[in-house]
Chain A
Amino acid sequence: MKIEKKIIRKDSLEKLFDKLRGSNHEVFAPMTRNGKLSYHPVDKFSEISDGYIQTTQSSKEVSFPRTEKLLDYSKNADGMHVKGIDPEQIPSVILWGVRPCDTMGIGQLSSIFNWDYKDEIYNNRLSKVTVFGFSCNKADEYCFCTSVNGNPGSTEGSDILFTMMGENGDYLAEIISEKGAAAAAAAPELFTEAGNAEKEKYLASVPVKFNREEIHDKLDKYFESPEWVEQSLKCIGCGACAYVCPTCACFDIQDEQHGKSGKRVRCWDSCGFSLFTLHTSGHNPREVQSARWRQRIMHKFSYMPDRLSVYGCTGCGRCSRACPADMNILEHLITIKEAAL
């Protein structure tokens, strides 16, 4: 559908929230806990944080929970019994306050879950999500969306994109999809005509630092570079980068069994862990941290574009903000860009 532009007053956002919250939607929005911002189910509009540059965790958990039951099983005299997930039980969700780098990440994550096998549970969850993107009016030194084909006001992945017009101003609402139109229809009285309103002048400035295609091409000849060791000496091998990343999709399957019944669970996993590639024989093809760091960059900027025709990085900068060792992906990508090969 053609993007429809409307205006919604700042003080009408709460009314929109209340209408949607009251119409069998769960609303996931950024909330602060222990000084960190993450998406949580929110009951009251006043609980939602605003004014943030980026949340600590991405919003991917709404379609790809960190721990997700795939099926229940039990065994008795008749044999094995398996009960899958009823898609009807999956709630309808409004994902509120998502930055354009995260909304862009939804497509990247989905391409992994639909590469060869179409992941039914993931797709079912995502089909119930309506994405309320919020443009960025400020950025920090970790942001690099414009280097990976994003921008602070991108509509990609949003069902409605809200852009605040000036400090404490009203919002330009771009209604992008059928889902977005349905959500807006819950309170049509709150939206007025936008006239000639444009969002560009209100958007954050994010300088372009590199071009993702040039990183992709460089990586073809960069596999053996000593720079991987150089970059990753300080990497301590945790999974913080992968877990806060909007596009990291690796998981582990576990059977949690008690007696003769149990559940099969999908749990987040990370290529940064040494155990991730450890073979039963004891051999580990990615034996040291530099091989694991290389995998992370290669996967996002080489393997994904080659296999899936999408990149695996949205330039949100979360991995760098969250890294306890101050690994900085933007610095590393610039090093790769500038490498003489």
Chain B
Amino acid sequence: MDELRKRAKELLEAGTVKVVIGYENGSAGKTRALFARNAAEADKLIFDSRCIMNLAAYLTKTEVKGIGKMAITAPLPAMRAIIQLASEFQVSDDKLMVLGLTPDAKMLEFKSLSEVEEYVHKSAIEIEAKYNEKLEKLNGMTPSERWNFWIGELSPCFKCYACRAACPMCYCHKCTVEFNQPQWIPVPSDDLGNLEWHMMRAIHLAGRCVDCDACYNACPLGIPLNLLTKRMLIDAKEYFGGYQPSIKADHLMSTYKPGDKDNFIM
């Protein structure tokens, strides 16, 4: 941890970056985002297993970007999110430095996002084994059973959009759910309104979701939204050879090529 604090202070004191985004102790034993802009603030930086929020979600936030060049302390899921954001032109080397973190809180220094990408590519995204049983159970359901499962699970949703706000990939200034001419997604938090909202969000994350569980961790009502995105990772593997965020590679779901098969349309 001393290494991370020391490096953060150096970067701030030298003016290399204006802010180091990291974790600090929060309320009731939780952790929260820290925006260190001077050495004294950098002393509050921490990293441990409680640091589950994906801080990459702040990289596209207007007021945070407005501070100036950013450094971010990033465990693997955040690094993956950063590479996906780079591939979507949301972050770049001239505005962002990455201080990587291993699970045992060792700091990894990267000179560029390409080096972050190299590190990220050393391992594939693996769905945690504890989800296998649930995912297999869902897969074994008939369509109507699955429909009923999701209607039930989503019924408490009051559409606070914490899942969207906590997701590094949900950076649109205007989300599809907010278009009202026409109103694509019903506004009420009822069966259909909730189902359409969560399906729409999940599909927009296909081939982009880095499986960080930020959506699930953010949900104040504990809805297992990450089962939807994990399912898409499985499908990405089965139908498209797997998903790995890459700065330059084609996007899994949103790249059209003239030679694509179109026999499924008619």
A residues near B, CB below 8 A?
Answer: 33-36, 38, 56-57, 66-67, 140-142, 229, 232-234, 236-240, 242-244, 252, 254, 256, 265, 267-268, 270, 273-275, 287-290, 320-322, 324-326, 328, 331
The listed residue (A35, A140, A229, A268) touching B158 by CB distance below 8 A is A268
Q: Is the CB of A36 within 8 A of B166?
A: no
18 A-B contact pairs sorted by A residue (CB < 8 Å): A35-B222, A142-B27, A142-B28, A233-B64, A236-B165, A236-B218, A239-B161, A239-B162, A252-B187, A254-B183, A265-B187, A268-B158, A270-B160, A290-B63, A320-B27, A324-B218, A325-B166, A326-B33
Interfacial chain A residues near B61, Cβ < 8 Å:
236, 289
Known: A38-B156, A240-B160, A240-B162. A326 touches B32 (CB 8 A): yes
Q: Is the CB of A238 within 8 A of B161?
A: yes
B30 near A: Cβ within 8 Å? yes
B188 near A: Cβ within 8 Å? yes
Interfacial chain A residues near B186, Cβ < 8 Å:
254, 256
Q: How far is the CB of A138 from chain B (nearest CB, A)?
A: 14
Interface size on B, residues (CB 8 A): 42
B174 near A: Cβ within 8 Å? yes
Interfacial chain A residues near B219, Cβ < 8 Å:
324
Q: With the chains together, A325 CA to B53 CA distance in Å?
A: 8
Interfacial chain B residues near A56, Cβ < 8 Å:
220-221
Q: Which partner residue on chain A sits nearest B161 by CB separation?
A: A238
Interfacial chain B residues near A321, Cβ < 8 Å:
28
Interfacial chain B residues near A265, Cβ < 8 Å:
187-188
Interfacial chain A residues near B156, Cβ < 8 Å:
33-34, 36, 38
Chain B 19-47 residues near chain A, CB threshold 8 A: 26-28, 30-33, 35
Q: With the chains together, A51 CA to B156 CA distance in Å?
A: 22
Listed residue (A236, A240, A288, A320) with the most chain B CB atoms within 10 angstroms of its CB: A236
Q: With the chains together, A170 CA to B112 CA distance in Å?
A: 66
